[in-house]
Structure 1
Amino acid sequence: MGFASLFMDISSELIHSLLPLFMVGTLGASMVAVGLVEGIAEATASITKVFSGALSDYLGKRKWLMVLGYGMAALTKPIFPLAHSMGWVMAARFIDRIGKGIRGAPRDALVADIAPPHMRGAAYGLRQSLDSVGALAGPLLAVLLMLWLADNLRLAMWFSVIPAVICVVLLAIWVRDPEKPAGEARANGKRLHWSSVKELPLQYWLIVLIGAVFTLARFSEAFLVLRAQSMGVAMALVPIVMVVMNIVYAAGAYPAGAASDRMQPRTLMLLGLALLVAADVVLALAPNVWMVYVGSALWGLHMAVTQGLLSKLVADRAPQSLLGTAFGMFNLVSGVAMLAASLIAGWLWDAHGPSLTFWAGAGFAGVTALALLLAPGTRGQPAA
């Protein structure tokens, strides 16, 4: 699953590191339009995760839902270079994110199914680390292609099809659902109902709330690309900002995930928020592109510290029979928050410029940290 994530992220991040430039430069979109496209895309993925997660609990099988989701994402890759209007881009992002929604919750639940409970943090960190290697390779490939192809955005985006196909083949051939006792696979059939949500405990919903507020502070990474462009970076070199972010993200995700098996969750979450505040402040004040790279590195470090941790906390606090549903609801709420965050970021950028956009992100992160400090129920228990 980690290597499948790696290849799909090579494909997706090649597209995503060029797409903001394509939307603004080629299609003439505003920053609000960019925020709307990115926000709706992530919200769509999150809504879909609710249903795919619950369905995977009901079926007791997760693999083929993952293959379907990754397959849909692969099918959208040719649409981006063919797009001649924002409507085409919106449609491609919409279908791509439906695919992400279909695969996301079953994949996260399958990690929990496979990994020993005392190593869940490390397992999520490992998958996220491989995912981040792909997210590093994608923008790096975009830079090389743009230099080779003389800034031909459309032709560069066509190369995203190859790793997407490799991802689907890997999953279809080598990933398997864990064996279950006879009769257990459909034992939860009665749970394919909204009433199942009521069985999720209060501690789980507290994690959902924290994740949502956290997401408000962390808008779409498309704005990192646009921040680099605003500093006058040559178009072919703009994706380097994503390369820098993902080098740090990939290097830090597994150690941070392993640390979450031993440390207090709140300590790591506060560290992640502090890193996000630092990233936003650096990006707001950046006098040159080198400081944009520093801010992007801090952004990647905060992602490494927090993303695997949030998945571990959801897995630890949800019943085993409702893991897919739990991840689906978590991602639904986070996706709605991402839509709001990206719209706010786009509006602030258009109205007041990039600096205020990142100052607002720092403010949201500070409020989240304060709420976390005042909420004693988030302390959690250290791993045995």
Structure 2
Amino acid sequence: MKERKIFGINWNVFLLGIVSFLNDMSSEMIAPIVPTYLTDVLGIGKAASGSIMGLIESLSSLFKVLFGYVSDIFRKRKIFVALGYLLSTISKGALAFTRSWWDFLTLRVLDRVGKGIRTAPRDALIAESSEKGKSGKSFGFHRMMDTLGAVAGPLVAIGLLALLKSYPIKTAYRYVFLLSAVPGIVGVLLVLFLVKDKGEEVKKKIKGISALKSRNLRTFLVIVALAALGRYSYAFTLWKAKELGYSVLQGLGFYAVFNAIYALSAYPIGYYSDKVSKKAVITVGFGVAALASLLFAYSKSLPMLLLAFVFYGIYIAIEDTIPRAYMADLAGEFEKGTVIGAYHTVFGIFVFPASVIVGYLWQAYSLKVGFIYAAIINIVAMLLMAFLVKD
């Protein structure tokens, strides 16, 4: 039976893109106000805030290989995708009722657990729903939709904060948290009633040797771990804008610029990676990351800061899209959830120390030193990727 398509994209991939749009709109309604909420409302210090943001970014990945593996065994992806989105939606809305850093951290951990449950099964479902040789296109479309949600989210937040300007800032923030659950709920319903599992169509019989035993793939995962040590939380870019004297609302504007660049870049980058070497695109991505970090480090003017956000958007578009497609291409049909989950887990474990280190460097020295550290890490990763990993 011929697969249904819309705009040249498999129907399942299209639906999952819509779901990610809604979920990310929900997430990004609150993401830009979280750094200020931590420091100004809950009164948490700089190093502690950096550590909390890093922990939040990292925790979800600890669950990704587990649920990727479980979804491979049962050949059921949708139930894990729906459960993961549901947990995240509930946790975001409940932030409206937080009163301490402990409440906040508990709910953000629940959100990351939800992400950990859904990510590898969802990415495996995207890979299984893609035409052979077009995984980059599918993942690029998905990341584009995800990031368009990230563009919409801050803009919705700006509108809500403008409408709520007569309220105390902490009250306005709580209303934004509560309303962020609405698009998430719609996304969960789409998964439950319209998305179809594809796992049953994949042969259960194991053929060949697992890609995880490949020296090339293991070398790549080591480089991923190193590069993750230079992947600081987005919060540091907003703290940089604040350091230069920009307001929270102006910071939301910068964040929207970053996400617009991300959204516009993800699909063409994914499409292009199918035509050329995915390894080459990933390598370039590390170089772009180093450039973005140096721009943030030395930014003193508006044009330079905007340029930093532009390159940061291109970097994240590459590194959040192409490694997934690269891993999906290397994995056997029987292990896509496990292999993609392994990538997410390795990345997640090492991305936590990145924000802790940058937070420490910020407190002990300056944000500039933290960004320079990240640039050096990405330059090393770029060189290792270029010379040690094979196409």
Alignment of 1:24-43 (within 5 A): 24-43=39-58
Matches within 5 A, 1:235-314: 235-314=248-327
**What is the one-letter code of the residue matched to 2:123?**
D
After the TM superposition, which residues 1-384 of structure 1 pair with which residues of structure 2 at under 5 Å, given as runs? 1-150=16-165, 151=169, 152-178=172-198, 180=200, 200-375=213-388, 378-380=389-391
Aligned residues of 2:211 and 2:339 also touching (Cα < 8 A): no
Q: For residues 211 and 290 of structure 2, what CA distance do their matches in structure 1 show? A: 35
8 Å CA contact 1:314–1:327 kept in 2: the answer is yes
Structure 1 segments unaligned to the other structure (5+ residues): none
**1:111-157 CA distance string (max 9 Å, x none):** 11110121111000000000010011111212222222124222222
- Structure 2: how far apart are the matches of 1:179 and 1:76? 29
Deviations 1:55-106 (A, max 9, x none): 0001011011000000000110122121111101110110000000000000
Distance of 1:345 and 1:134 partners within structure 2? 27
Contact 1:207 1:314 in 2 (8 A): no
CA distance in 2, matches of 1:288, 1:14: 27
Structure 1 window deviating more from structure 2 (138-147 vs 56-65): it is 138-147
SS in 1 for 2:361: helix
Q: Which amino acid aligns with 2:180?
A: S
| Deviations, residues 254-284 of structure 1 (Å, cap 9, x unaligned) | 0000111111223212321221111111111
Is the Cα contact below 8 Å between 2:289 and 2:311 reproduced in 1? Answer: yes
Instruction: Give the drift of 1:36.
Output: 1.6
Whether the 8 Å CA contact 1:231–1:289 is kept in 2: the answer is: no
Instruction: For residue 233 of structure 1, give the secondary structure of its aligned residue in structure 2.
Output: coil
Runs of 5+ unmatched residues, structure 2: 1-15
Superposed CA RMSD: 1.9
Distance in structure 2 (CA, Å) of the matches to 1:79 and 1:350: 30
Query: Judging changes above 3 Å, is the alpha-carbon distance between structure 1 residues 231 and 148 closer, same or farther for their aligned structure 2 residues?
Result: farther
User: How many residues are aligned here?
Assistant: 370
Asked whether the 8 Å contact 2:77–2:199 carries over to 1, the reply is no
Deviations 1:16-35 (A, max 9, x none): 11101100111111222222
Range that drifts further, 139-148 or 71-80? 139-148
- Does the C-alpha gap of structure 1 residues 58 and 153 become closer, same or farther in structure 2, counting only changes over 3 Å? same
Give, in whole Å, the separation in 2 of the partners of 1:304 and 1:179: 27
Distance 1:197 1:229, change over 3 A: farther
After TM superposition, the score normalised by the length of structure 1 is 0.92
The amino acid across from 2:219 in the alignment is: L
Question: How far apart, CA to CA, are the structure 2 residues paired with 1:81 and 1:286?
Answer: 34
Aligned 8 A contact 1:147 1:236 in 2: no
In structure 2, relative to structure 1, the CA distance for the partners of 1:172 and 1:275 (3 Å cut) is same
Greater than 6 Å deviation, 4+ residue runs: none
Contact 2:203–2:334 (8 Å) recurs in 1: no
Q: What secondary structure sits across from 1:175 in the alignment? A: coil
TM-fit CA distance, 1:199: 5.6
Q: Any conservation in 2 of the 1:79–1:88 contact (CA below 8 Å)?
A: no
Asked whether the 8 Å contact 1:31–1:350 carries over to 2, the reply is yes
Stretch deviating more after TM superposition (324-333 or 65-74): 324-333
Deviation at 1:289, TM superposition (A): 4.0
Kindly provide the amino acid, as one letter, of the partner of residue 293 in structure 2: D
Q: Provide the rounded CA distance (Å) in 1 between the counterparts of 2:296 and 2:333.
A: 41
**2:173 is matched by which residue type in structure 1?**
L
- Within 2, Cα distance between the matches of 1:186 and 1:253? 32
| Contact 1:68 1:102 (C-alpha < 8 Å) held by counterparts | yes
Give the direction of change, closer, same or farther, for the CA distance of 1:267–1:79 in structure 2 (3 Å limit): same
Superposed displacement of residue 237, structure 1: 2.5
Q: Deviation at 1:160?
A: 0.5
- Aligned-pair identity (%): 29
* Structure-1 separation of matches of 2:321 and 2:193: 26
Moved more, 30-39 or 361-370: 30-39
**CA separation in 2, counterparts of 1:74 and 1:242?**
22
| Structure 2 letter corresponding to 1:131 | D
Q: Distance in 2 between matches of 1:166 and 1:14?
A: 15
* SS of 2:275 mapped into structure 1: coil
* Mean Cα deviation higher: 86-95 or 231-240: 231-240
Measure the CA separation in 1 of the matches of 2:185 and 2:38. Answer: 25
Q: Could you tell me which amino acid in structure 2 is paired with residue 110 of structure 1?
A: L
